[in-house]
Chains A and B, each alone.
Chain A
Amino acid sequence: MNALTKERASAIAEQSYKYGFVTDIESEVAPAGLSEDTIRFISAKKEEPSWLLEWRLKAFHHWQKMAEPDWAMVKYPPIDYQAASYYAAPKQKNKPKSLDEVDPELLRTYEKLGIPLREQEVLAGVTPRIAVDAVFDSVSVATTYKKTLEDAGIIFCPISEAVKTHPELVQRYLGSVVPVTDNYFAALNSAVFTDGSFVYIPKGVRCPMELSTYFRINAENTGQFERTLIIADDAAYVSYLEGCTAPKRDENQLHAAVVELVAHDDAQIKYSTVQNWYPGDKDGKGGIYNFVTKRGACRGKRSKISWTQVETGSAITWKYPSCVLQGDDSVGEFYSVAITNNYQQADTGTKMIHIGKNTRSTIIAKGISAGRAQSTYRGLVRMLRTAKGARNRTQCDSLLIGDQCGAHTVPYIESRQPSARVEHEATTSKVSEDQLFYCQQRGLNAEEAMALIVNGFCKEVLAELPMEFAVEAQKLVGISLEGSVG
């Protein structure tokens, strides 16, 4: 690489995170530190019932006794949990009743991010409609299409609101998939979670539009701890999208979310994520620590949960969206693209726990490493004694760009059921000079060539994304790799 292209490459890498701006808005921020008082403060802010405060405190006491996990292939300096603030909310006098009452600065922020908060006037069947719940730091600022969804019996609202309006549902399901004691970061989240989305699809209802939550971290020195709970009752269907961005900051910020999905008999949940938190700069300074617990329970017979994730952001990703396949004939799927560039680290994968008979799972994981990044696939397939006739197929492909990065594959397979079948296939390849030159000879520049080759590599996974997301994800794949060739 000559000096000129090097300069050009780094210039591009520098400017490539276009969501790095900060919204200038007055916020109410809790003092730094984490104690019982902090939790009481959050609970009081949210006007929560006492059972939830008790639940939080139980989680907190458990967390205090736990040790931070160190088995993942990621390195970071110790986190000072007392230095961060656990609550930040844009100041608004009263909770806005409609979008017209929302702070225009906030609306502009979402406009800049390309997130539609105004319900569009749509001609039937022409523009796809997406209902959005927008979470800004610790609170949900707006939820669209609520009326349309209510008419179908669907509940889609901030979880803090659901606690008040549908306490029986929240109490019944919260922590039922990811118990408060599950792991260090899940316990922390349970203690201090501030907002997130709640979805309930009643029996037999097919959700008429994509539901989406857009998470934005804005405030400085705060963590984001959102909690999402999605329940699909018998024979219900929902497709849910999650997007996230954060400003460029030199400090690392912690994001420790918990997502729980419950699918009853014949229900289907499709959960898609495009994770684009700020990854840090090219020297590895700043960026989000994305330590997330996501798990779905296929409780009902013939239920299906499908995770699709495109992970391009964050300085560190620690995330294993999983399926617990309890119901007979239930299906779990995990499709993942994890791209790491510069000094990013990702340790991600899935767990498929087969309990019911004839349960099936598919795992397709694509890891791409460039720069000095390290990418690890870590996956567990467990066949319990009860999982007669269960099947799993895992395909795990790694692609390396340059010679300073690493890719690792750590599959765990445990089977106690002789009739269960588990297949695992893994490949590691490099983007070759031949491929790049071939594309360039046909008119593509180096960056375009890389984006094309990597998109081809990820194709099977990207094809699982809903249409509206797929195009955006393809572009994001290209952008994330800018500066990786020269």
Chain B
Amino acid sequence: MLSIKNLHAEIDGKPILKGLDLEIKAGEVHAIMGPNGAGKSTLSYVLSGRDGYTVTEGQVLLNGQDVLSMKPEERAAAGVFLAFQYPVEIPGVTNMNFLKTALNSIRKARGESELDAMQMLKLLRAKAKLLGMSEEMLKRAVNVGFSGGEKKRNDILQMAVLEPKLCVLDETDSGLDIDALKVVAEGVNTLRAADRSMLVITHYQRLLDYIKPDYVHVLAYGRIQRSGGPELALELEAKGYAAFAPEAA
């Protein structure tokens, strides 16, 4: 599914990722944990193609397709989805309209027919119901006046509608209280599927109590320092990041 090889990336000439390797198979959930400044957010932006992040070396393949040569919207159409650490507000644009425009753009890019207003409404209602969200939310402007939890859930709703292949969740737990965290995690779990991989980026082990990963990786100093099963997260919680950063010693 996703194959990252020897990925080097920099911002304003400053190297952040320094030879990152990662393989994720279809249906797997991988967690990346790391201290502040380890390159966690950089990884999510490099995968999604944000301006200002320059890849200097390495390769990222999604189902054999070269991701790094695509524009952000082409990556979205290829199935890359980023759940944002801070979902953005778009005043005056309803969730309904936003989702409709996004899904039809992606369908068009994939050579599928666009959905009409009725088909779209039916689909959106079904997805909102699946995630236990009210239809009222569809009528509100994208993330405007939403609480932190509502914004994250809204991103999960977008994920449900766009049905991506690879979901990158960038610090989804930041700014959430424990109740909101549970709700969001439930949403993510609902969307786990055999043909969908997830990359959960987080600072704390807490999120992994609710989203159970198949693998855990420790990212520090721009590289994966260690990989293991879910137990690695617990070890990390107990010992701290310092133990996993050779250069820090």
Instruction: Please report A residues at the B interface, Cβ cutoff 8 Å.
Output: 432-435, 437-446, 448, 452-453, 455-460
Contacts and interface: CB of A to CB of B under 8 A. Distances in A.
Given A437-B50, A455-B93, A456-B141, A443 B76 contact: yes
Interface in B153-195: 158, 162
Interface centre among A438, A446, A448, A453 (most CB of B within 10 A): A438
B90 A441 contact: no
Given A437-B50, A441-B48, A448 B105 contact: yes
B102 interface: yes
Contact of A438 (B49, B84, B141): B84
Contact of A443 (B49, B50, B109): B109
A460 B92 CA distance: 8
B77 interface: yes
Given A443-B105, A456-B141, A460-B92, 19 more contacts: A433-B51, A434-B88, A437-B50, A437-B51, A439-B90, A440-B49, A441-B48, A441-B73, A441-B75, A441-B76, A442-B102, A442-B105, A442-B162, A445-B71, A448-B105, A453-B93, A455-B93, A456-B92, A459-B93
Given A443-B162, A445-B105, A456 B72 contact: no
A452 B93 contact: yes
Nearest to B141: A456
B90 A435 contact: yes
Given A443-B106, A445-B71, A438 B76 contact: no
A442 B105 CA distance: 9
B207 interface: no
Contacts of B7: none
A207 B109 CA distance: 45
Contacts of A437: 50-51, 72
Given A433-B51, A452-B98, A452-B101, A444 B73 contact: yes
16 contacts: A432-B88, A435-B90, A437-B50, A437-B72, A438-B90, A440-B72, A441-B72, A441-B82, A442-B76, A442-B102, A443-B103, A445-B71, A448-B101, A455-B92, A457-B91, A460-B92
Contacts of A448: 101, 105
Contact of B90 (A433, A445, A453, A458): A453
B113 to A, nearest CB: 15
A444 B105 contact: yes
Interface string B80-92: 0110100111111
Contacts of A441: 48-49, 72-73, 75-76, 81-82, 84
A478 to B, nearest CB: 11
A427 to B, nearest CB: 10
A434 B97 CA distance: 19
A446 B48 CA distance: 14
Contacts of B72: 437, 440-441
A464 to B, nearest CB: 14
A443 B88 CA distance: 15
Nearest to A429: B91
A437 B47 CA distance: 13
A445 B72 CA distance: 8
